Chains A and B, each alone.
Chain A
Amino acid sequence: MSRPPAERQVSRTIAADQRLSDELTRIGIDDSAASPTVLFLASGVAWLLIGSLMGLIASVKLDLPDWLGGAGPITFGRLRPVHLNAVTYGWISLAGSGMIVWLMGRLCRTHIRWTALLFLSAILWNIGLFLGSALVILGYSGGMEWLEFPLPAAAVIALAFILFALSMFRTFAARQVEHVYVSLWYILASLTWFPLLYVIANAGLYQGVGEAAMNWWYGHNAITVWFTPIGLAGAYYFIPKVIGRPIYSYYLGLLGFWSFALFYNWNGLHHLVGGPLPTWAISVSIVASLMMFVPVLAVAVNHHMTALGHLSMIRYSPTLRFVVFGAMSYTATSFQGSLEATRSVQEVAHFTHYTVGHAHLGMYAFVTMVLFGAVYYIMPRIAKWEWPYPNLIKVHFWLSAAGIAIYFLSLTLGGWLQGLAMNTPSIPFIDTVNLTKPYLWGRAVGGTLMTIGHCVFAYHFLLVIHRAGPKRFAPVWFRKAEEVAAP
């Protein structure tokens, strides 16, 4: 390894802090995870592109309703669910699974077991997504939000997830460590929860208002048991890892995890405040939403204290920059969500674009940004090829960050004004539509930036897979190494 001396110095310090005694084992473990991880990550990136494009087209259709208005398959009401499914069950789930495979090897300190199941899982998953999206486009939507994929597609995805979970549990059972790290708690819980949730929700057990309760129990629990654990597992791993310090408090981690498990499973009915359900049930969800301050604060304090004094490293480390952005957004989204669940905020915000802004703060600014950071860390280590163009990473970061900021602020402000107008009976309904138009354009602008960022990211990702571009000998840092060592 012929690294420049200063960089060697840095990596030596970091390595010592991390107490990673045996680099060779680590490389062996990474290698065992390499092919399935790449398969999952690459599929995820493909669905990110598809999903962003669908979202962008859907968004412009609200600005120019007659644009591409002549054909059923590309109407707003079909593209929108395809967007949601492609970015959540496609991008986040697949890239998240790739991250989980890789973390599993690292955290259990053993090679990945039953990798054949992982390949099968990734293939089935892609087939399920493709089938489901095609069926929705062709008009066979199941009709419930988050559950639009009809049964054949949902069954394939369920099977894919179960195969994935089996391989991960087998690897966990073979672990070579005493200590089960916080990230693993979230991963293990989600591997247990999500298949159950997904199967129950697709089983068609309910009718009428009971089905609505199930629908939003599912909708929010998908966030509880799958999307958030992915983001948190990543944040818990990469923040201490890149900074080179252990997590601040194990007990805060414990408190955070169990209060999360206890409260977050009861949040769903805050999506139906004011609706025709027994009030006590909705109130229970509102209280549970407020209780979420406990786990969220625990996580926020834990990450903050870990990073304290080292936060300047986000200027240098691409991974840290994305992951810290994500972790801070987690706190922001959750605080917003807890308050948003209350009756007085729901009265205004519930039926408006404000909710869509909130959804993107969670799914994009939090989970997606953490995943970007994870991919920037993992890919060079398994592809044995560093990111060739550090500037592309910067461009990607700023496009995504500016894009989501514009997206969120537009819809939050526009949605709130829309809600106030809707609650003022003297304002004709069409004026509540008219007043949102500039904000919907704002969203389209933000979404365009994000989508361009995703194209840059995907291009760079392809370069690494093909080991193209200039060869680099050390991980990407945005500044010279001496500057890193200085503070």
Chain B
Amino acid sequence: MMFIRSFVFFLGVLAAFALGWIGIVGVPDMMLARIEAPPELKRYTAEQLYGRSIYVREGCLYCHSQQVRPEGFGADQARFWGRPSVPADYLYDKPHLLGTMRTGPDLFNIGARQTSEEWHLLHLYNPRLVTKGSIMPPHPWLFEEKPTAGPGEEALVLPDSLAPARKVVVPTAEAKALVAYLLSLNHTYPVSQGAASDDTAKTRR
């Protein structure tokens, strides 16, 4: 009797868990397995992937989302952050970087919105150089201080107050890769929202 009761208990517990897993992960994932990549969605280059790993390493994710909300849900459309994102946009993403915070703006289309490599480098070195009042962390360890810029290197143009004495600041390969990744975040190509995910587009309000 006691054994049977324990058995039923653990069976119920396992079933409750498994149903949830199948229901909200397994089934959606299976349905999404059918979608195809839009032709304009490019695979990341080696450099962009390297940059992406630095995005993960520095935890940009904790302040920036990469998902655009549809019309009528928030102001993403009115802020021109891009068309609503669809599952097909993320086919090559691992780990996913959808994010849950917007301490800073959404970056899903930052490559279309801010195309200047120079701006990005300055901003990464110290965000307050380009945006007064920003609370984004500075990332000086992605840069190098040296007496003069080497061949093919370009030093940042810093105000005197921040420039190190008799030295210049040049981006490392990490900074350049990170910017290459940011510039690749451009999902402005058209998608047929219906094909990409049948009911995402339809029932979103």
Contacts and interface: CB of A to CB of B under 8 A. Distances in A.
Given A66-B138, A425-B79, A208 B59 contact: no
A75 B197 CA distance: 38
A395 interface: no
Contacts of B126: 66
A215 interface: yes
B59 A80 contact: yes
B165 interface: no
Contact of B24 (A65, A192, A225, A266): A266
B105 A429 contact: yes
A196 B62 CA distance: 27
Contacts of B24: 213, 217, 266, 268-269, 281, 284-285
A284 B21 CA distance: 13
A94 interface: no
Given A61-B137, A71-B141, A434-B133, A208 B87 contact: yes
A76 B21 contact: no
A65 B90 contact: no
Interface in A13-43: none
B102 A274 contact: no
Contact of B32 (A140, A185, A210, A425): A210
A208 B60 CA distance: 18
A416 B24 CA distance: 28
Given A197-B17, A217-B20, A276-B85, A281 B28 contact: yes
A65 B28 contact: no
A56 to B, nearest CB: 16
Contact of B19 (A63, A144, A265, A425): A265
B95 interface: yes
A281 B197 CA distance: 12
B100 A350 contact: yes
Interface of A: 61-63, 65-66, 69-72, 75-78, 80-81, 139-145, 178, 185, 188-189, 192-193, 196-197, 200, 206-215, 217, 221, 225, 258, 261-262, 265-266, 268-269, 271-272, 274-281, 284-285, 343, 347, 350-353, 355, 422-425, 429-430, 433-434, 437, 440
13 contacts: A62-B135, A66-B126, A66-B138, A69-B137, A70-B140, A76-B63, A77-B63, A192-B10, A212-B96, A274-B67, A274-B204, A276-B86, A351-B101
